[in-house]
Chain A
Amino acid sequence: MALLEIDNLNRHFGGLHAVNNVSFSVEQGMIKAVIGPNGAGKTTLFNLIAGNLPANSGTVNFNSTKINGRKPYQIARLGISRTYQNIKLFHGMTALENVMLGRHIRSKAGFMAGMLNLPWTWPEEKQIKDRSMEYLDLLGVADCADIEVSNLAFGQQRGVEFARALATEPTLLLLDEPAAGLNIYETAEIGRLISKIRESGITILLVEHDMSLVMDISDEIVVLSFGEKIAEDLPHNIQQNEEVIRIYLGYEDV
């Protein structure tokens, strides 16, 4: 059974069918990409998987458990983590603190324990800190640890967001346009990073505009257009797919 199975998923906003009967699955250990023109419903799809939006119909199964209808924090605890197209870091907190938040579901000190600063929470805090530093280091932004995130450069912010997502030790990582706003060198870097993350055993589903990156790293590609799935295949075949070429080059020949 696949790690993530999406079955006949639907979501509309008034008359707009943002996600229309979409089905596909993501096997354990693969990198799967979702591509499509602007407004194809990619981000809506992500929001449906992560629980930020309720679906009108259809199911999302993760590890054979139905997850649509659950709250985002519950889905996160099941092992799905994500990054955002327009980076969403916790402003007013340092890079390190942002990543430490990623360790939230992997630690357990509660309200009272925190307020009374009970000694048994100390080793846990230290461990959260050490692990978070490791993730910052992995992303090459360890030297930003104590800087408030609003003061970081764009590329560094993206690094912190990745570190935060990885710190939750997810089974499935959702990446929403990880290369958006990056130059070609940074994009290549992020491609290598994504492959490295997959090698550590994390399954990846990503939405991306940058075709070279997608073709380079993904094992399979799903193409969405106006909310509908129009193709699902290996990168090599997608490049040859006439329908896909048509929606990307325009409708003049219709």
Chain B
Amino acid sequence: MDLWKRYIPVLFLLALVVAVQLITHFTETSYYLTQLTMSAYYSVVVIGLCVLMGYGGQISLGHAGFFAIGGYLAGALTTHSLLPIKSHGLVAFLHKIGLLVASKDLYGGDLLTVEPWAACIVAVFTAGIIALAIGGPVLKLKGHYLAMATLGFGIIIFRIALASAYFGEADGISGVPSFKLLPGLEVSGSFGARVLNYYIAWMVVIMGIILLLNLIHSRVGRALRSIHGAEEAANAMGVNTARYKLYIFVLSAVFAALAGVLVTHYNGGIGPSEAGVMKSVRYVAIVAVGGMANLWGALIMGIVLNFLSLRGVFGSYDDAVFGVILIVIMLFAPEGILNINPWQRLKSLFSLLAAKPGENTTE
């Protein structure tokens, strides 16, 4: 059945995730898991963006902005103490219904902060609302204008993060507590929780990819792809293209924000570089390398490139490497490197050569 065909790669991915963990366990290289966990979270941004760009045909140079909205809000809400305004009606009310937690800081001082689940929902929801609000006017634009508008959005988020004391200005936010998803299931960067967090991150990726695979194979997904293929004709077939573009924009923003929340709890902090334009460009680069409308390609490239980058393989040439990748792929393989099939290339070359003499015989 079709459904099986769709999910078999997911099962394969699951097996691979377990296998990698076992290998690192037996070869005592489990320090790799930290970067694999981070790569997994960044890949959540990438697969969301992939659906927006590859299937919806809309570029976004501002996705680091949504990542930052998620990360910064979750970080600030769960870190800044509300004790000084404890008597405020709203704070008291939140405390009463259990959305605030009391804890101690490093020096034993009392803290009263927002419960991570509540903060996470607020952060992701805010990103979704912002995407919904700006998506209307932004997605009316095309080509360069769309690219510039999303870039502009990213810059504004970056500037806000850099200029507000609440978000720690140039230092960002640190000391973000761990995030208890369920009893015993905690997103944190502590050494002992490394294997657990590796699995948490990959479960998030797998759930994300299942949702997106379902989506692109559904009625709505088909409509989305048709927008990319020929927007005018899609409209004439009764597809409300503006609304679908908006949906997918919001969805990809939510994916980015969720990744932001989880990375912030995992790292225990977030800084303004996460909101920078280079980050947005990087996400676009990975989607492009993976082949735009290729969810699995985007995921594989997201893991590989982020992992190499996080391991410091590219050294001080990190950004340069991404620049080169962008140019080379767009010049020579705009369909993405996974879509290059050398065998097929060769065959089409031969058929082209064979067709030349063939033309004469048909005359």
Q: A-side interface residues toward B, CB under 8 Å? A: 50, 52, 71-73, 76-77, 81-82, 84, 88-93, 97-98, 100-102, 104-105, 107-111, 113-117, 121, 124-125, 128, 164, 168
A71 to B241 Cα, complex, angstroms: 10
**Does the CB pair A114–B225 fall under 8 Å?**
no
The A interface is mostly helix, strand or loop, or mixed, namely helix
A-B complex: 9 closest residue pairs judged by Cβ atoms: A114-B218, A90-B229, A105-B238, A76-B238, A88-B233, A117-B214, A72-B235, A90-B226, A114-B220
Please indicate the chain A residues that have their CB under 8 angstroms from the CB of B238 in the complex: 73, 76-77, 104-105, 168
Interface size on B, residues (CB 8 A): 29
B221 at the interface (CB under 8 A from A): yes
CB distance from A13 to the nearest CB of B (A): 18
Closest to A126 in B: B2
Contact string, B233-244, partner A, CB cutoff 8 A, digits 1/0?
111111111000
With A92-B229, A109-B220, A113-B218 as known contacts, state yes or no: A104 contacts B239, CB within 8 Å. yes
B106 at the interface (CB under 8 A from A): no
CB distance from A12 to the nearest CB of B (A): 21
Q: B-side interface residues toward A, CB under 8 Å? A: 3, 211-212, 214-215, 217-223, 225-226, 228-230, 232-241, 247, 293
With A115-B215, A116-B214 as known contacts, state yes or no: A105 contacts B225, CB within 8 Å. no
**Does the CB pair A76–B233 fall under 8 Å?**
no
A128 to B238 Cα, complex, angstroms: 15
20 examples of A-B residue contacts, CB within 8 angstroms:
A73-B239, A76-B237, A77-B238, A89-B230, A90-B228, A92-B225, A92-B229, A92-B293, A93-B222, A93-B229, A97-B222, A104-B222, A104-B238, A104-B239, A108-B219, A109-B219, A111-B247, A113-B218, A115-B215, A164-B237
A164 to B230 Cα, complex, angstroms: 13
Please indicate the chain B residues that have their CB under 8 angstroms from the CB of A73 in the complex: 235-241
Please indicate the chain B residues that have their CB under 8 angstroms from the CB of A102 in the complex: 237
**Does the CB pair A117–B223 fall under 8 Å?**
no
Please indicate the chain B residues that have their CB under 8 angstroms from the CB of A89 in the complex: 229-230, 233
A125 to B220 Cα, complex, angstroms: 11
CB distance from B10 to the nearest CB of A (A): 12
**Does the CB pair B235–A101 fall under 8 Å?**
no
A181 to B154 Cα, complex, angstroms: 47
CB distance from B237 to the nearest CB of A (A): 5
Closest to A100 in B: B222
A92 to B235 Cα, complex, angstroms: 17
**Does the CB pair B211–A101 fall under 8 Å?**
no
With A89-B230, A116-B211 as known contacts, state yes or no: A121 contacts B218, CB within 8 Å. yes
CB distance from B205 to the nearest CB of A (A): 16
A90 to B231 Cα, complex, angstroms: 8
CB distance from B251 to the nearest CB of A (A): 8
Please indicate the chain B residues that have their CB under 8 angstroms from the CB of A104 in the complex: 219, 222-223, 237-239
**Does the CB pair A90–B219 fall under 8 Å?**
no
**Does the CB pair B225–A128 fall under 8 Å?**
no
Please indicate the chain B residues that have their CB under 8 angstroms from the CB of A116 in the complex: 211, 214
A128 to B237 Cα, complex, angstroms: 14
Closest to B6 in A: A117
Q: A92-B229, A104-B219 are in contact. List 4 more A-B contacts (CB 8 A).
A: A101-B234, A107-B219, A113-B218, A114-B217
**Does the CB pair B237–A115 fall under 8 Å?**
no
Please indicate the chain A residues that have their CB under 8 angstroms from the CB of B228 in the complex: 90, 92
CB distance from A4 to the nearest CB of B (A): 16
**Does the CB pair B241–A111 fall under 8 Å?**
no
With A114-B214, A115-B211, A116-B214 as known contacts, state yes or no: A88 contacts B220, CB within 8 Å. no
CB distance from B228 to the nearest CB of A (A): 7
Partner among A76, A82, A114 whose Cβ is within 8 Å of the Cβ of B219: A114
Please indicate the chain A residues that have their CB under 8 angstroms from the CB of B220 in the complex: 109-111, 114-115
